[in-house]
Amino acid sequence: MVAGVRAFDLDLSNLHQRSRSAFTTLSLHPGEHYCLLAALVEHIQPSLVVEIGTFTGLSALAILSTLPIGARLISYDIVPWSTFPEHALRDADFDDGRLEQRIGNLADPGYFQQNRKVLQSASMVFVDGPKDGAFEPKFFRLLSGLPRAQSCWVVFDDIRLWKMLAFWRGISLPKFDATSVGHWSGTGLCLLTASPEQ
């Protein structure tokens, strides 16, 4: 995997000052997934990335570090990024329009439908949700059922956590366990192929 090799060379040290967690984890590779996320974005060259689970913003910063000019990252969470202690994002990160946060639960069919066009247009989706045994299966069922004009890489965090094991094993689409070059708790890649609307 080209991105897996590239992840070893990526330098995210310019972001270390953002927070204590940024200093200790952003460049920890292998072990954490931030360098791999940046490498995947660099390799895929997406025009739109969707992130599920903004949290403190470390993954968003890693994705933005290699996001192509003119591309966008839309990050979803159920609470604003600024409410998390030790958040790494700054208001200025949103000024150029490359980064947007939306508040809502994408496992809710109504909210999912409101954001359908965004999810259909994304060529990479990073899923770092609650890992509660409910959200990921519901969201992925909705996501994989969408017709799409282009293929989309879906990256799942924490696939080796207990409540994620059955879900990950049950995915029958082309997939790859990238834990050895990703997150110690598991990183999985799945490919949704183009499937135009009938």
Q: 36-88, pLDDT tens digit by residue?
A: 999 999 999 999 999 999 999 999 999 999 999 999 999 999 999 999 999 99
In 3-state terms, the chain is what percent helix, strand and coil (to 5)? Answer: 40, 20, 40
Q: What is the pLDDT of residue 153?
A: 98
Residue 122 is assigned to a structural domain of this protein: yes
| Domain CATH number, residue 22 | 3.40.50.150
Domain count, the chain: 1
Q: What is the pLDDT of residue 196?
A: 72
Q: What is the pLDDT of residue 43?
A: 96
Residue 32 is assigned to a structural domain of this protein: yes
Residues of the chain above pLDDT 70, percent: 98
Convert the pLDDT of each residue in 101-142 to its tens digit. Answer: 999 999 999 999 999 999 999 999 999 999 999 999 999 999
Average pLDDT score over residue span 80-100: 96
Find, among 144, 131, 157, the residue nearest to 191 by Cα: 144
Residue 126 is assigned to a structural domain of this protein: yes
Residue 42 is assigned to a structural domain of this protein: yes
Sheet of 48-52: strands edge to edge? 99-103, 72-77, 48-52, 124-127, 152-157, 187-192, 175-177
Average pLDDT score over residue span 162-185: 96
Q: pTM score, two decimals? A: 0.96
Domain limits for position 75: 2-192
Q: What is the pLDDT of residue 197?
A: 67
Please report which confidence band the pLDDT of residue 195 belongs to, taking 50, 70 and 90 as the band edges.
Answer: confident
Residue 197 is assigned to a structural domain of this protein: no
Q: What is the pLDDT of residue 42?
A: 97
Residue 101 is assigned to a structural domain of this protein: yes
Residue 135 is assigned to a structural domain of this protein: yes
Residue 64 is assigned to a structural domain of this protein: yes
